[in-house]
Amino acid sequence: MKYRSLPMIIFTILVFLIGSIIIFSFIYAPEVVVTADDAFKTLNVKSGTFFTIELEATPSTGYTWSFKITNDEVVQYIKDEYIPAKDTETLGASGLHRFVFRAMSDGETSIKMQYEKSFADSKEPAQFRDFNIKVK
């Protein structure tokens, strides 16, 4: 009788181990960090890799970063967040706007970033950055 439950125990352990590996691969995935200095260059990343674009931002001025991915089958947007400056005593201090992406499949694309006021009449952004991404 106790030998019949052995396959079920082994199956449960295997499911747990495989699930843990999948979860930890997302949590501890290697990350590439790209800054404004890397704009207009080609970034080579492996398929499945997460990468972050960090750009200086001051949202208190009304400006914000937006982006457009030219081929979203190659790169997928995951999330973005604003990280305030560590010097909280300085009014209007710049912080970092972090955009996290994942390289999905082999190919090339670009991420076009624009720093602009969403409510402004001007069609021209205050700043722009182009990040060329090559996934292998």
Between 11 and 48, residue with greater pLDDT: 48
Sheet holding 42-45, edge to edge: 42-45, 127-135, 107-117, 63-69
Q: 113: pLDDT confidence band, cut at 50, 70 and 90?
A: very high
The tens digit of pLDDT for each residue in 65-77 reads: 999 999 999 999 9
The tens digit of pLDDT for each residue in 9-34 reads: 877 888 877 766 666 655 555 578 99
Query: For position 27, what pLDDT does the model report?
Result: 55
Among the four given CATH numbers 3.10.150.10, 2.60.40.2020, 2.40.160.50, 2.60.40.1120, the one describing domain 31-135: 2.60.40.2020
Average pLDDT, the chain: 85
